[in-house]
Amino acid sequence: MSDYHHDQEPPSKSQLKKDMTALQKIGEALIKLSESQLAQVPLPDRLRDAIYFARSLKTHESIRRQLQYIGKLMREVDPEPLRLALKKIQYSHELQTRSFNHIEAWREKLIAQGDPALQQFIENYADADRQLLRQLIRKAQHDRDIQKNSGAETELFRYLRNFVQE
């Protein structure tokens, strides 16, 4: 937010409006967080209550008013720790997504290419059980061939997740 000293001019009306909009955007991001993510953010009780209340609202107008109220409450709070917590949560989510995509790519490669991909996987992840992995791959390939979903691909994914940590 804009702080000024006696030797400086007060912030313009448009600057104050930009600051309020930025605080409302943070409030909007806080509303969209899951329970566990919100628990990681350092919030005063009044602000946390306002966020929970905003989640219960249904109409666009009531949500908009509640966001303005959240922005008003946030004027009393230092927004920097909130921004940092949101960035940390966002970064964590991006890492999880990247890891998920990497595991999924390995699964697809193993199912599509079979033994050559299995050999490459074993070279990268020596702790993996080759025999079990081969069984899981064959089962997933068989399910794809007969267009059946017995959960073999999910089982393979879960096994790969134990080794692939990107």
Q: How far apart are CA 161 and CA 136, in angstroms?
A: 13
The DSSP call for residue 9 is P
Model pTM?
Answer: 0.62
Yes or no: say if 70 and 51 are a contact pair by the CB < 8 Å rule: yes
Name the architecture of domain 95-161. Orthogonal Bundle (1.10)
In the chain, the N- to C-terminal Cα span, in Å, equals 38
Q: Which two tokens stand for residue 119?
A: 């050999």
Residue 148 has a pLDDT of: 79
* Burial of residue 114, with CB atoms counted within 10 A of its CB: 0-12 exposed, 13-18 middle, 19 or more buried: middle
Model pLDDT, residue 131 = 93
- Helix orientation angle between 79-113 and 13-32, rounded to the nearest 10 degrees: 50
How wide is the angle at C-alpha 162 spanned by C-alphas 159 and 166, nearest 5°?
A: 120
Q: Is 114 left (phi over 0), alpha (psi -120 to 50) or beta?
A: left
Residue 114: both structure tokens together: 């079979």
**pLDDT of amino acid 66:** 93
Domain ranges (residues) in the chain: 13-78, 95-161
Predicted pLDDT of residue 5? 57
CA torsion sign for 138, 140, 141, 147 is positive
Query: Tens-digit pLDDT profile for the chain (166 aa)?
Result: 555 555 678 888 898 888 888 888 888 899 999 998 998 889 999 999 999 999 999 999 999 999 889 988 988 888 899 899 999 999 998 999 999 999 999 999 999 999 999 999 999 988 889 999 999 999 999 888 888 777 889 999 999 999 887 5
Identity of the residue numbered 93: H
Q: Same topology for domains 13-78 and 95-161, yes or no?
A: yes
List the one residue out of 28, 66, 62 whose CA is nearest residue 46: 66
pLDDT computed for residue 54 by the predictor: 94
d(CA 53, CA 47): 10
Burial class (CB in 10 A: 0-12, 13-18, 19+), 162: exposed
Fold of 13-78: Diphtheria Toxin Repressor; domain 2 (1.10.60)
